[in-house]
């Protein structure tokens, strides 16, 4: 009997050889794991923001789980409407953000959890001093929308929580939709003894110009103004006679504004709602007579109606000449460590020189250069003669 038990045990631990074709057939017959009841889910949304007098600025921290395998899954996040603008979209590993059926959705094909952050701005519907802004989200566990505001500028109508003096409120959604209502005070309810905040004068923190000249006499200049201002403003720009405006960029975007002769008036707002920074870029071209063996170059940059804290200029001139400064308001300087990235990209060949001027107001920086032919390494050296 004992020998029989050992024989049975040995047989149960044996191996068998199965052809690959039969093994694959058995694998195909094996039952597939059950599909998840839902392909993907919006786990949580953490919403916070700030109420401005003319906009609702939001930060959205989202967590999404994709459950399905071997198929594309679309998980809705936010309803998109004309008054909602997404300020920046993140890059998500293994997933993509897209607009589908009027909603911002996350699209993925493999099971995985994704966490990311969105920034958005909602323009309100205006009824006199009252403002109403809405945000519709997908089905998710949300702890509500936490809002900050300046009680001197706005009075929140929606929400509960801390007193308005703390400038913080919490909003709960109704049917998946957040509604934020407030009144723009415009400083009317500021106590008389509280000094009014001084309106900051608009300035140009930095102006940067790049000038390229060809040997035939074609000149191209790009000037970028880094602006600091509040609200909507008007700025006047002008340029020297003989130059023509080719392109204008406002906050990095091309604009259809056209100049009248040698000047341009622009209505501008900060790059971000509620912000205080913006930019303008001018692209000018001009033609002048070609270079002689020696001569003088007069360079005058465009002017702007706002005060400029500092102006940097870089010249790229034909390499066949030597250049020396003769006059003008621009002084020689060293190259900047972080060159400006212009919206309008062009090659910049030639000899490069750097110039600078501080505190410019309603005037155009200028530079006068003398040039002579650079003969070093270029003139003919006679070779040895037969008599040598």
- Helix (DSSP H) and strand (DSSP E) numbers for the chain: 2, 27
Q: For 257-276, how does the pLDDT look when each residue is reduced to its tens digit (9 = 90+)?
A: 666 678 899 999 998 887 89
Q: How far apart are CA 40 and CA 66, in angstroms?
A: 4
Of 327, 303, 333, nearest to 315 by C-alpha is 333
* Range 141-166 average pLDDT: 71
**Averaged over 159-180, what is the pLDDT?**
70
The whole-model pTM stands at 0.51
d(CA 174, CA 85): 22
Kindly list the structural domains of the chain, giving each domain's residue range(s) and its CATH number in brackets, ordered by start: 40-184 (2.60.40.1730), 203-373 (2.60.40.1730)
Say whether pLDDT at 82 is over 90.
no
Give which of 65, 120, 61 is closest to 94, Cα–Cα. 65
Write the CA distances from 76 to 102, 156, 367, integer angstroms.
10, 29, 58
Tokens for 27, please give them: 């694998």
Strand arrangement, sheet containing 294-300 = 294-300, 366-373, 321-327
Q: What percent of the chain has pLDDT over 70?
A: 82
The first and second tokens of residue 241, run together, are 């006679």
| The pair of three-digit structure tokens given for residue 309, joined into one six-digit string | 């804290």
Q: Is 282 helix (H, G, I), strand (E, B) or coil?
A: strand
Q: Report residue 85 as tokens.
A: 């603008």
Q: Is pLDDT of 221 > 70?
A: yes
DSSP single-letter state for residue 6:
H
**In sequence order, which residues have a C-beta less than 8 Å from that of residue 259 and are 6 or more positions away?**
245
β-sheet bridge partners, residue 284: 221, 245
Q: Is 50 exceeded by the pLDDT of residue 142?
A: yes
d(CA 39, CA 54): 39
Mean predicted lDDT score pLDDT of the chain: 82
Mean of the pLDDT values across residues 173-193?
72
φ/ψ (deg, to 5) at 205: -65, -40
Highest mean pLDDT among 53-57, 307-311, 383-387: 307-311
- Name the residue with higher pLDDT: 115 or 199: 115
For residue 388, the model assigns a pLDDT of 46
The SS3 call for residue 21 is helix
| Measured distance CA(176)–CA(243) in Å, rounded | 57
pLDDT digits (tens, 9 = 90+) for 273-297: 878 999 999 999 998 878 888 999 9
Q: Does position 80 have pLDDT exceeding 50, yes or no?
A: yes
Residue 168 burial (C-beta neighbours within 10 Å; 0-12, 13-18, 19+): middle
Report the pLDDT value the prediction gives residue 31, as an integer from 0 to 100. Answer: 66
């Amino acid at each position: 009997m004992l020998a029989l038990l050992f024989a049975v045990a040995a047989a149960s631990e044996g191996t068998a050889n199965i052809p690959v074709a039969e093994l694959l057939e058995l694998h195909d017959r094996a039952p597939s794991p059950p599909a998840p009841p839902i392909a993907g889910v919006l786990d949580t949304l953490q919403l916070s923001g700030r109420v401005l007098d003319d906009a609702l600025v939001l930060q959205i921290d989202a967590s999404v789980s994709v459950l399905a395998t071997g198929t594309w899954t679309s998980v809705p996040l936010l309803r998109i409407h004309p008054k909602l603008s997404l300020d920046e979209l993140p890059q998500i590993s293994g997933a993509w953000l897209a607009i589908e059926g009027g909603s911002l959705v996350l699209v993925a094909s493999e099971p995985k959890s994704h966490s990311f952050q969105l920034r958005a701005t909602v323009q309100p519907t205006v009824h006199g001093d009252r403002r109403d802004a809405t945000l519709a989200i997908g089905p998710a566990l949300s702890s509500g929308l936490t809002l900050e505001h300046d009680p001197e500028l706005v009075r929140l109508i929606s929400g509960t929580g801390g007193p308005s003096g703390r400038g913080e409120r919490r909003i709960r959604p109704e049917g998946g939709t957040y509604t934020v209502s407030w009144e723009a005070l415009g400083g009317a309810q500021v106590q008389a003894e509280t000094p009014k905040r001084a309106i900051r004068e608009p300035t140009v923190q930095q102006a940067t110009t790049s000038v390229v000249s060809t040997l035939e006499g074609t000149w191209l200049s790009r000037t970028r103004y880094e602006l600091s201002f509040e609200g909507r403003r008007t700025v006047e720009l002008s340029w020297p006679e003989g130059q023509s405006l080719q392109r204008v960029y406002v906050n990095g975007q091309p604009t259809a504004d056209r100049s009248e002769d040698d000047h341009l008036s622009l209505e501008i707002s900060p790059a971000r709602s509620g912000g205080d920074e913006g930019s303008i870029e001018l692209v000018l071209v001009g033609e002048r007579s070609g270079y002689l063996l020696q001569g003088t170059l007069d360079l005058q940059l465009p002017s702007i109606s706002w005060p400029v804290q500092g102006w940097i200029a870089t010249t790229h001139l034909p390499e066949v000449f030597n250049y020396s400064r003769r006059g003008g308001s621009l002084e020689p300087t060293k190259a900047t460590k972080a060159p400006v990235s212009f919206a309008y990209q062009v090659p910049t060949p030639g000899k490069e020189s750097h110039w600078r001027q501080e505190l410019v107001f309603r005037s155009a920086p200028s530079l006068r250069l003398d040039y002579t032919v650079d003969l070093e390494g270029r003139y003919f050296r006679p070779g040895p003669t037969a008599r040598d």
